[in-house]
Copies of this chain bind each other. A is one copy, B any other.
Amino acid sequence: MPLPHNLNQNHLLGALTAEELERMAEHLKLVPMPLGEVLYEPGEQLQHAYFPTTAIVSLHYVMENGASAETAGVGNEGVIGIALFMGGNTTPSSAVVKTAGHAYRLGRRELKAEFERGGSLQHLLLRYTQALMTQMTQTAACNRHHSVEKQLCRWLLTTLDRVSTRELVMTQELVASMLGVRREGITEAAGKLQEAGYISYRRGHITVLDRSGLESRSCECYAVVKAEMSRLLSDVRTRGDASIAA
């Protein structure tokens, strides 16, 4: 179902003033985000920021021995390319598309220029950055203390919050690499969840049947991050639909 895309589908863009959005609109380009695409690699100078509409992107750290872990996810509530306005221009981690979709792309110059005007975009981006730090903090603690099953529940829930369907297009292999665990660990945990009737899956598709079931088996981290995100971004998505079609 190819919805007509519009800027409001990204919550940050949707919360800008009409004036700001007008200034930026001509520079925002809708781009497809295929599964697996690498938006940036460690140490590489970023050229664009991405405001996802339907895509979901994973901020991902890969260690020397090839092991990896997701440190935060970004969907239509956020933006990829923090390092542009924070001033570092790059990061040691990478960003990869974990659910295909679309995003609005903005050149680094245009982003920096608008950020430095100090208007509502600046405030939004800074608060979003803080929200991202909350995710990272929570991931760090969660990685230390919670079981794979709990983490899987958390991960499914946060991913589900960013899509409009109950079905995620996801192989166990992919999930495992996000959580930084063995593929077999996911097989086992997912098996238990399926047995409990919370999810069902087939080759690369996970369907959530009982959301509250997942919540009950998830660790606290899901709720903590969600609450903090909504606290920090409470004024986002309140602008109504006075949108500029793209």
Point out residues on A near B: beta carbons under 8 Å.
59, 61, 63-64, 67-69, 71, 82-83, 85-88, 91-93, 116, 118, 123, 126-127, 129-134, 136-141, 143-145, 180-181, 220, 224, 228, 231-232
Chain B's nearest CB lies how many Å from the CB of A183? 15
Instruction: Please give, as numbers and ranges, the residues of chain B lying within 8 Å of A116 by CB-CB distance.
Output: 118
A226 to chain B, nearest CB (A): 11
The main secondary structure of chain A at its interface with chain B is helix
| Chain B neighbourhood of A132, CB < 8 A | 133
Q: Are A137 and B88 in contact (CB under 8 A)?
A: no
**Are A63 and B145 interface neighbours, CB within 8 A?**
yes
Q: How many copies of the shown chain assemble into the complex?
A: 2
Report whether A180 and B145 are in contact in the complex, using a CB–CB cutoff of 8 Å: yes
Choose from B134, B143, B220, B232 the contact partner of A63 (Cβ within 8 Å). B220
**In whole angstroms, what is the CA distance A143 to B67 when docked?**
12
Contact B143 A144 (CB under 8 A): yes
Apart from A85-B126, A139-B140, A141-B180, 15 more pairs, CB < 8 Å: A71-B141, A82-B133, A86-B126, A86-B127, A86-B129, A86-B130, A87-B127, A88-B130, A88-B232, A91-B228, A93-B137, A118-B118, A129-B129, A143-B144, A145-B180
Hey, which chain B residues are within 8 Å of A180, CB to CB? 141, 144-145
Given A136-B71, A141-B180, residue A130 in contact with residue B87 (CB < 8 A) = yes
